[in-house]
Amino acid sequence: MLSSSQEQKIWNALNGFNIEIPSWGFANTGTRFGKFVQLTAATTIDEKLSDAGEVHKYTGCCPSVAVHVLWDFAKGKQSVAEVNEAAARHGVRVGAINPNVFQDQIYKHGSLGNPDPEIRAAALGHLLDSVEIAKQTGSRDISLWFGDGSNFPGTANIRHRKQWFIEGLKETHAHMTPNQRLLVEYKPFEPTFYHTDIADWGMALLMARASGPQARVLVDTGHHYQAQNIEQIVAWLLSENMLAGFHFNDRRYADDDLTLGSIDPYQVFRIFNEIALFEFETGKRADLAYMIDQSHNLKNKVEEMIQTATTAQELMAKASLVDHESLLEHQRKCNLIDAEECLKSAFAEDVRPAIEQWRKSKGLDINPMRAFRESGYLTRTAAERGERHRNAVSSYA
């Protein structure tokens, strides 16, 4: 049973925790082996924002939506006003702006890292357009992920590409307003398999530093090798004031976009613990963007996003219960078991009753998933959207 001071810690933590949801998580996507179409999936940005609005309506912690420039701004900068209006109409706002320099044919050999200066210039043009869109949506973060790399030894000059990236990122950074941030995301492999130009947190840190003072590193939890210690990376970046935030998901083998906490909830708890300990010791709130980056293939898209947001709340609430005074004391004295037990005992606490009471205090249903399911939203969207998806796949049962 939690004490009242523990419940207060949880409420304080929940009051300060929002997690951004990705527009691309609501559309039908798949793997390279195929796509299992969902009749309720969103197609247009308005439908994606409608679905996102449902997640926020029932969880109360997802007020902003990360958007993808090519997929969500059909007319580029001309569509910003209608996207802003649609977001407001659905009770959310536009969050991070994600440029896309990985799918157009010209990017076959890379974008900012392409040996062809005209293709590098085209990629830079898209990044600068994305900065302009961010100004019009009022978004602080321009979130950069590059699929650049190569598949075979000897086919790419790694040092030249590094320099081209630095040039492109510096130019992009120079176009931002003082309150914007450039988020540099890393990924060890995929879509390329021999080398990826920004493959790990060290490369992302150097790229961010070279770009300018408003650039930071974005940690996507699915972008690490097996058994990599992600919370150690988080602690280092916090210590360097270079952590922008997260793309949360879970992984079994690679960048699997599995539901946050479905495979290793203790790892997510340890990440939140490093942040909470940093905040306790420095007395400063870590200014981090918590974002989900999942593109759901099998579970229902809206339901999985609700599940992800409530799981994030639970793991963050557990981390808020760690007794930091005792932990620091035990660390100083190398009381190994006592130090470890500070984490394990907090992780073992059942925080759900306290979270339910918090939801009640906010006028939310204590069970967001049940409330969403009872709303009939999926029945309505299946009726409105199902036919087009059925037509899209003739073999749909």
The residue ranges that bind ligand AFD (CB under 6 A) are 98, 145, 185, 187, 220, 247, 255, 293
Q: Which does 296 bind (CB under 5 to 8 A by kind): Mn ion, ligand AFD, none?
A: none
The answer to the question of residue 68 lying near Mn ion (CB under 5 A) is: no
Torsion of CA 224, 30, 22, 322, to 10 degrees: -40
Shorter beta-carbon distance to ligand AFD: residue 184 or 235: 184
* Residue 219 bridge partners (DSSP): 246
Between CA 383 and CA 391, with CA 387 as vertex, the angle to 5 degrees is 165
Contacts 24+ apart (CB under 8 A), 362-366: 362/60, 364/58, 364/59, 364/60, 365/58
Binding-site member from 140, 247, 318, 359 for Mn ion (CB under 5 A): 247
Strands, E assignment, 13-135: 21-22, 64-68, 93-98
x/- mask, Mn ion, residues 182-221, rule CB under 5 A, reads --------------------------------------x-
For the CB of residue 294, give the shortest distance to Mn ion in the complex, in Å. 9
Rounded Cα gap, residues 274 and 231, in angstroms: 7
Q: Write down the least CB distance from residue 218 to ligand AFD, Å.
A: 8
Residues in the chain: 397
CA distances from 191 to 32, 127, 231, 270, 322 (A): 11, 20, 25, 29, 39
Selected from 7, 141, 197, 293, the binder of Mn ion by CB under 5 A is: 293
Decide which of ligand AFD, Mn ion, none touches 311; Cβ closer than 5 to 8 Å per partner kind: none
Question: Radius of gyration (Cα) for the chain, nearest Å?
Answer: 21
141 binds Mn ion (CB under 5 A): no
Rounded distance, CA 310 to CA 304, Å? Answer: 10
Burial of 258 (0-12, 13-18, 19+ CB in 10 A): buried
Virtual CA dihedral for 91, 94, 98, 104, nearest 10 degrees?
70
Instruction: Give the C-alpha distances (Å, rounded to integers) separating 106 from 13, 98, 118, 121, 168.
Output: 46, 19, 10, 11, 17
In the complex, least distance from residue 293 CB atom to ligand AFD, rounded to whole angstroms? 5
The region of 84-92, 118-126, 245-253, 272-280 touching Mn ion under the rule CB under 5 A is: 245-253
Q: Which is nearer to ligand AFD, 156 or 183 (CB)?
A: 183
Which residue among 141, 255, 274, 303 contacts Mn ion (CB under 5 A)? Answer: 255
Of 70 and 328, CB closest to ligand AFD: 70
Q: Which does 98 bind (CB under 5 to 8 A by kind): ligand AFD, Mn ion, none?
A: ligand AFD
Residue 304 binds which entry of Mn ion, ligand AFD, none, CB below 5-8 Å type-dependent: none
Eight-class DSSP state of 259: P
Residue nearest to Mn ion (CB): 247
365 binds Mn ion (CB under 5 A): no
Q: Give 288 or 371: the residue with its C-beta nearer to Mn ion.
A: 288
Q: What is the binding site for Mn ion (CB under 5 A)?
A: 220, 247, 255, 293
